[in-house]
Amino acid sequence: MSKIRLIALSLLAVFAVAVAMAGEKPKIGFLVKQPEEPWFQVEWKFADKAGEDLGFEAIKIGTPDGEKVLSAIDNIAANGAKGFVICTPDVRLGPGIMARARSHDLKVVTVDDRFIRADGSYMEEVPYVGMSATNIGRQMGEALMDEMKRRDWPIDEVRFMVITYEELDTTRERTDGAIAKAIEMGLPEDQVIKAPIIGMMEIPTSINAANVVLTRYPDVKYWLIGGSNDNSVLGAVRALEGKNHPVENAIAVGINGTDCIPELEKPNPTSFYGSILGLAGVEGYKTAEMAYKWAYLGEEPPLDTRTVGRLITRENFRQVLKEEGMD
């Protein structure tokens, strides 16, 4: 073989390896339980942003049940991913998810909903990023009570309906925090009425939960409404509308701040006063970055990272979303 041909061939080989390597972009999965919920869409958007900044690809898969989670894990492993972020559809799937991840040697970072073991204890060994739930709940309670006081409602004619989802620790801590804060700020404890959601946390299930309470308490004049997230609270607002409750005689505050934007944009105010905006963008970016750096660079993430919230209302939401880079 001529020298020139040999050099040409080896250059070609080097080129081929370079092309193959360039094609093998690092990959991580990003699995979420409710892909239709804007909260999770924001997380995905910012996971992509982290990928652009740091040079990896986020494979985004909606996984509304356990079977879908397991097949998604197999899928991303077959696609060459070395780790994933997950908001699980059921926290009790934690041990099973970890076993499947281990079988493919994948690193796992959890977001929003923390894995629990069969005995209900947290799987603290699995890195977690989520809301500072009690504090965010307390902010919701405070916003409701502040606005109630501003409107000068007679306290004995007020009831606080709380749309709960107590199966999930993060949402139970939020509603417990809201109730505790409202009581601290002067609401009598026996004026708190819980409305538990049966099934998934969605607007229709929340309408049902609220309707049970509204049917039992048809004569309440003033309602404060809080709940586990925006959709829980939006459902209760729709239920009040269904009963023709005067819009100005209810104050509703949600949590997430991502799923209520169309509500705040409505030309005529509804009873939905505001929401505690959580940092979906930061959570999406951070968890994707953590999974990537752990799986590809060997950097272990912290085990427990908490994010804060901020009240948004019709008056300030555009400005706050801009400040948080979420507009």
Interface residue list for ligand FCA (CB under 6 A): 37, 39, 87, 112-113, 131, 170, 201, 229, 256, 278
Query: How near is the Cβ of 39 to ligand FCA at its closest, in Å?
Result: 5
**Residue 40 or 56 having the CB closest to ligand FCA:** 40
Query: How near is the Cβ of 117 to ligand FCA at its closest, in Å?
Result: 19
**Residue 26 or 278 having the CB closest to ligand FCA:** 278
Query: How near is the Cβ of 111 to ligand FCA at its closest, in Å?
Result: 8
Q: What is the DSSP letter of 315?
A: T
Residue 150 CB partners (closer than 8 Å, separation 6+): none
Query: How near is the Cβ of 101 to ligand FCA at its closest, in Å?
Result: 20
Give the helix, strand, coil percentages of the chain, each rounded to 5. Answer: 50, 20, 30
Residue with tokens 């990896």, as numbered in its chain: 56
Query: How near is the Cβ of 169 to ligand FCA at its closest, in Å?
Result: 10
Compute φ and ψ for 111, nearest 5 degrees: -130, 140
DSSP bridge pairs for 27: 57
**Residue 56 or 229 having the CB closest to ligand FCA:** 229
**Residue 112 or 176 having the CB closest to ligand FCA:** 112
Query: How near is the Cβ of 157 to ligand FCA at its closest, in Å?
Result: 31
Query: What is the spatial distance between Cα 10 and Cα 18, in angstroms, rounded to a whole number?
Result: 12
- The sign of the torsion formed by the CA atoms of 144, 146, 152, 155 equals positive
Residue 9 CB partners (closer than 8 Å, separation 6+): 1
Query: How near is the Cβ of 59 to ligand FCA at its closest, in Å?
Result: 20
Q: Which of 250, 213, 207, 211 is nearest to 231 (CA)?
A: 207
Query: How near is the Cβ of 276 to ligand FCA at its closest, in Å?
Result: 10
Tally the C-alpha atoms within 13 A of residue 54's C-alpha that lie toward its C-beta.
24
Residues 290-316 as b/e (b if ≥16 CB within 10 A, e otherwise) read: bbbbbbbeeeebeeebebebbbbbeee
Compute φ and ψ for 152, nearest 5 degrees: 60, 40
Taking a C-beta distance cutoff of 8 angstroms, is the pair 272, 254 a contact? yes
Letter for the amino acid at 11? L
**Residue 112: left if φ>0, alpha if ψ -120 to 50, beta else—which one?**
left
Where does residue 200 rank: exposed (0-12), middle (13-18), buried (19+ CB within 10 A)?
middle
Query: How near is the Cβ of 138 to ligand FCA at its closest, in Å?
Result: 16
